[in-house]
């Protein structure tokens, strides 16, 4: 029996999994432990400071120790207690400071006075500590403080910036003409359960399900990607530009475990087939859901997948927003196993429909002799399909996907697909895969 998703999340939750770090390596290893063998999960390494499109790969960040104490030696905060206590990618420091010198380097959350905020300075290098608002308010202003951060920025190419990736094939074997669908979640937010440990464990569960019950033969392969937000996808695609033209769609999973309705963030195309499939699935479930424009609900790496120079239609599913965002209150207490699994259910059905969809093109002339080919549907057994047969066959001109046809005749996608598959088995239609739409100029 597979372990609960929350228990997997707990294994990497409090690691200092910043952009490139030893704890990021540990996180990717935990993911690999639970990914299905069929995915052939692997970890890729990119050299720090190497150019990836308009970005540079970040250095590996190592924190030996970090603490803030009074001049008398009383500890205020200590990195050993929580990775949130320092701003990620803080520069090294060892100084005795007055309050006025120290205060600009302290961060707290006004709205959640008992919580430690999560802050980062990846590209605008500085240093700082994070603490609760209540701690901040109690610190004496007439004392001096000793700030110590012993950090390093390593550029060893062999111990660089890493991401994890796996590929689950459809039944029988891959179909290169069908292309791939990519699923993503980010791993780079230390001590944040919902953002986005929840997406990571949902992605693992999704991979396990698609390995255990593969997509129909001829469907898209599904690529599972885990890594740091933004720069991770930039670096990955910059090293795999040949993959871009093979991608047919993408889905980002984020903040899926907190109490809120699911939110669909649409593609940049805004009314793409993928948007329609996602909306169909969410409506069919009969549960409340929200939807919004591209990059306006919970913007993540779909901005790269569906962005300039890539252009692959990509959606996201999340339960964003939630009040504990980017604080120590984003912990296991706000994560609900049933909501995680509910998000996986929705994502799985969206992928199963979109990745198995194709455009049927007739090979016959004239009306098909249905009874002679075992294709007649008894109206007493399935009235709706019986009445739709003529309309369905009229759509076999290579211009409508199976999902389009199902929409137009008002029937369930899988009912229509299973019926069209009978025509294909008889050699009466051939399957045209969804065409690539990536921007490869």
Q: Other CB atoms closer than 10 Å to residue 242's CB: what's the count?
A: 8
What pLDDT is stored for residue 175 in this prediction? 84
Q: Which CATH entry fits the domain spanning 60-154: 3.30.230.10, 3.50.30.90, 3.10.180.10, 3.90.1150.10?
A: 3.50.30.90
Strand order across the beta sheet in which 161-168 lies? 42-46, 161-168, 221-227, 180-186, 247-254, 314-318, 262-265, 289-292
How far is residue 69 CA from its own chain's centroid?
39
Please state, in angstroms and rounded to a whole number, the distance separating the CA atoms of residues 336 and 388. Answer: 42
Residues forming a β-bridge with 149: 66, 93
What pLDDT is stored for residue 172 in this prediction? 80
From first to last of its 441 residues, the chain has per-residue pLDDT tens of 789 999 999 999 999 999 999 999 999 999 999 999 999 999 999 999 999 999 999 999 999 999 999 999 999 999 999 999 999 999 999 999 999 999 999 999 999 999 999 999 999 889 999 999 999 999 999 999 999 999 999 999 999 999 999 999 999 877 899 999 999 999 999 999 999 999 999 999 999 999 999 999 999 999 999 999 999 999 999 999 999 999 999 999 999 999 999 999 999 999 999 999 999 999 999 999 999 999 999 999 999 999 999 999 999 999 999 999 999 999 999 999 999 999 999 999 999 999 999 999 999 999 999 999 999 999 999 999 999 999 999 999 999 999 999 999 999 999 999 999 999 999 999 999 999 999 877
Q: Is the CB of residue 23 less than 8 Å from the CB of residue 15?
A: yes
Q: Which CATH entry fits the domain spanning 5-58+158-356: 1.20.1630.10, 3.40.640.10, 3.40.630.10, 3.40.50.300?
A: 3.40.630.10
What pLDDT is stored for residue 282 in this prediction? 98
Reply yes or no: is the peptide bond before residue 150 cis, omega within 30 of 0.
Answer: no
Q: Write phi, then psi, for 153 (nearest 5 degrees).
A: -120, 105
How far is residue 426 CA from its own chain's centroid?
39
Please state, in angstroms and rounded to a whole number, the distance separating the CA atoms of residues 261 and 259. Answer: 7
Q: Is the CB of residue 263 less than 8 Å from the CB of residue 326?
A: no
What pLDDT is stored for residue 163 in this prediction? 98
């Amino acid at each position: 029996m597979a372990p609960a998703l929350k228990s997997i999340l707990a294994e990497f939750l409090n690691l200092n999994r910043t952009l490139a770090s030893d704890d990021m390596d540990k996180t990717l290893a935990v993911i690999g432990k639970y990914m299905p063998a069929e995915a052939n999960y692997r970890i890729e390494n990119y050299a720090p400071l190497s150019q990836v499109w308009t970005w540079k790969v970040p250095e590996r960040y190592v924190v030996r120790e970090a603490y803030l104490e009074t001049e008398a030696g009383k500890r205020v905060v200590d990195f050993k207690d929580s990775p949130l206590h320092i701003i990620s990618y803080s520069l090294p420091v060892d100084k005795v400071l007055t309050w006025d010198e120290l205060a600009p380097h302290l961060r707290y959350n006004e709205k959640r006075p008992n919580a430690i905020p999560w802050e980062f300075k990846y590209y605008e290098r500085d240093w700082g500590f994070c603490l609760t608002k209540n701690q901040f308010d109690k610190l004496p202003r007439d004392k001096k403080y000793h700030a110590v951060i012993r950090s390093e920025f390593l550029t060893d190419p062999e111990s660089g910036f890493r991401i994890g990736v796996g590929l689950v094939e459809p039944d029988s074997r891959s179909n290169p003409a069908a292309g791939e669908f990519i699923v993503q979640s980010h791993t780079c937010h230390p001590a944040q359960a919902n953002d986005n440990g929840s997406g990571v464990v949902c992605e693992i569960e999704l991979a396990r399900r698609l390995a255990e019950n593969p997509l129909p033969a001829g469907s898209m392969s599904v690529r599972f990607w885990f890594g740091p937000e933004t720069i991770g996808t930039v670096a990955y695609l910059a090293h795999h530009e040949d993959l871009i033209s093979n991608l047919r769609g993408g889905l980002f999973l984020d903040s899926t475990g907190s109490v809120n309705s699911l939110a669909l963030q649409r593609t940049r195309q805004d009314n793409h087939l993928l948007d329609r499939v996602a909306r169909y699935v969410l409506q069919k479930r009969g549960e409340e859901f929200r939807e919004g424009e591209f990059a306006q609900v919970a913007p993540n790496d779909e901005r790269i997948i569906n962005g300039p120079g890539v252009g692959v239609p990509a959606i996201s599913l999340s339960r964003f927003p939630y009040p504990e965002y980017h604080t120590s209150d984003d912990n296991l207490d706000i994560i609900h196993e049933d909501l995680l699994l509910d998000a996986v259910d929705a994502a799985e059905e969206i992928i199963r429909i979109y990745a198995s969809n194709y455009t049927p093109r007739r090979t016959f002339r004239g009306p098909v002799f249905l009874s002679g080919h075992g294709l007649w549907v008894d109206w007493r057994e399935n009235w709706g399909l019986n009445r739709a047969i003529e309309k369905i066959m009229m759509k076999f001109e290579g211009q409508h996907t199976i999902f389009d046809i199902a929409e137009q005749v008002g029937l369930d996608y899988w009912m229509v697909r299973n019926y069209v598959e009978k025509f294909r088995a008889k050699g009466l239609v051939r399957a045209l895969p969804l065409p690539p739409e990536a921007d490869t100029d």
